[in-house]
Structure 1
Amino acid sequence: MLEGRILAVSSQTKAVSGIPGAPKRVSFAKIREPLEVPGLLDVQTDSFEWLIGAQSWRERAAARGDSAISGGLEDILAELSPIEDFSGSMSLSFSDPRFDEVKASTDECK
Structure 2
Amino acid sequence: HRQRRSYARISEVLELPNLIEIQTSSYQWFLDEGLREMFQDISPIEDFTGNLSLEFIDYSLGEPKYPVEESKERDVTYSAPLRVKVRLINKETGEVKDQDVFMGDFPIMT
Alignment TM class, shorter chain as reference: 0.3 to 0.5
Whose RCO is larger (CA < 8 A, sep 6+)? 2
Query: Which has more radius of gyration?
Result: 1
Q: Higher helix share goes to which structure?
A: 1
Q: So what's the TM-score if we normalise by structure 2? A: 0.41
Q: So what's the TM-score if we normalise by structure 1? A: 0.41
